[in-house]
Structure 1
């Protein structure tokens, strides 16, 4: 069983450097501690005072997630880290789509999952005109969701898993091997009646979906050129030239694995940085511990790191819980 490094970790900075209190660094991934002299009560008190920074003993928490690979990895990060910190964890990872996960959180069927700031602002809180500054957007969502629903948004990962499009090999070749922009992609689709754009079922109807691209470019994808597919099929069918363009998540590991070309986005699609959503009645039991664990977990996750983790599941077939545990071990949040 993997154990949380409770006595060593007190906080993570913006670069996820672990601050070790009362300890000297030992070998790689290890901490060398001077043993306390027998009867030295001061040393014992120091150890005990460090524990609350990461100790979730006595906390019961139900963890959920949405149903795609990135969310499975993120959900299992929470399960593994909270279990290692001493919490009694109920695993409800892989609940379903966005609306299912959010309803479970609001109703109390789960206590936590990871959600994206753009989704929170537009879909869950019903706002428009989201900020394109990640800190400003997250702070706006954080304040409103806490006041209206008692839900905390803890930390913010650097990676931005926004909507995007990839072009098929044939479509890329038709563009001279260069990436399309959203504008030139839409022009190609309109000028090429047999061009097919593959999308997930909810993307054309979401307020943060297709409408943003059509408004920005002034062009509309004809109905007979739209093909609705499951998420995973979009990547493989685009790589096989059965979709000229495929709607994707920009941190998905299958983009690089299938040698797909991302369409360049000048800032049309809104931001999707992830935070941990946590109900107030659970957060208030151990706020320092939750803040410390979550910051250590999310701060290193930039686009490249998240895409590499996603690729291990989506392209290489690894188990998402094993990938999550491996990442946490690398960051010092689980014992090797």
Structure 2
């Protein structure tokens, strides 16, 4: 009887120990977040794959929402890092006016994040998901429009498919007119962002608001106008990381800097196109790119 009771006690202790271990996060675990759109999924997955290759365990917390959600999760310690944009850090988090010089913007944001938020920025990629204006190539050729300065000269001929947020946000129309002057378009109508390329294709509009890493820009029928006077701030993709996480795992810096070095605007257009146009899964697109461009490069 005593042996039976002793055996039961041993089993109980073992089960209790296992229960205590369940749900514990390894000291080598890195929690990576993403926002709720294609590009953020892809880049966050690239970070995860690189860190796993470097020997980390990764907890993926993707599709969290917008900037406010990810920033709050970082401040609470629910995330260690996530992909962000330098311009978003400046305008949406710090609530400051646009800065045109990308290096000055990066240095300023990095300094304030370290001083006020206990976070820092690792190397930014050259991939720049900024504001842009897009036309069909045929319309651009018809009116001789290659730059935004060309557009202003021919604005009275152009039907503009705009968006409410573009008209209101500091880095939208206010930045555009502040740099180039007023645009007297033939007409201005407001549409949902999701249909802007369809409007152009179907000759419902001549000009639309774009983001410079949109996958649709891989289509040769579309042309992104050159922002020849640099009206808009840079939105370079950058890993934002908690300082305590980086101090605990300094190897993360070199590992993710290698990822950033592999990403440019054209590359992100192509990766986004595979998801948004070809309907591939973001994790598959990221895995293929990682295998072809980053596999074997350890931080």
Among candidates 136, 151, 154, match of residue 185 of structure 1? 151
Q: Larger Cα Rg: Structure 1 or Structure 2?
A: 2
The question of 1:120 aligning with 2:89 is answered yes
TM-score (norm 1): 0.72
Relative distance call for 1:98 and 1:204 in structure 2 (3 A) is farther
SS of match in other structure, 1:236: helix
1:210 aligns with 173
1:134-190 residue CA offsets vs partner (Å, 9 max, x unmatched): 333212211111111011101111222211010135632541xx434223424544x
Is the Cα–Cα contact under 8 Å of residues 208 and 270 in structure 1 kept in the other structure?
yes
Paired positions, count: 271
Distance (whole Å) between structure 1 residues aligned to residue 242 and residue 137 of structure 2: 45
C-alpha root-mean-square deviation of aligned residues, in Å?
2.6
Moved over 6 A (4+): none
Give unpaired runs (5+ residues) of structure 1. Answer: 1-56
- 1:133-212 alignment runs, 5 A limit: 134-168=102-136, 171-175=139-143, 178-189=144-155, 191-192=156-157, 195-199=159-163, 201-212=164-175
Question: Does structure 1 conserve the Cα–Cα contact (< 8 Å) formed by 2:239 and 2:256?
Answer: yes
8 Å CA contact 1:198, 1:243 repeated in 2: no
Q: 1:271 aligns with which of 234, 251, 265?
A: 234
Quote the Cα distance in structure 2 between the aligned partners of 1:60 and 1:204.
43
Task: Give the match's secondary structure for 1:219.
Answer: coil
TM-score (norm 2): 0.80
CA distance in 2, matches of 1:221, 1:105: 43
* Change over 3 Å in CA distance of 1:214–1:82 after alignment to 2: same
Q: Given the alignment, which residue of 70, 92, 99 partners 2:61?
A: 92
The equivalent of 2:4 in structure 1 is none
Give unpaired runs (5+ residues) of structure 2: 1-25
Residue 121 of structure 1: CA displacement? 2.0
Using the alignment, how far apart are the partners of 2:178 and 2:110 within structure 1? 28
Q: Note the alpha carbon deviations across 1:276-298, whole angstroms, 9 max, x for none.
A: 001122222111x1111111111
SS in 1 for 2:124: coil
Note closer, same or farther for the CA distance 1:215–1:135 as it changes in structure 2 (3 Å cut).
closer
Report SS of the residue matched to 2:179: helix
**Change in CA separation of 1:104 and 1:204 when aligned onto 2, cut-off 3 Å:** farther
Task: Show the counterpart of 1:325.
Answer: 287
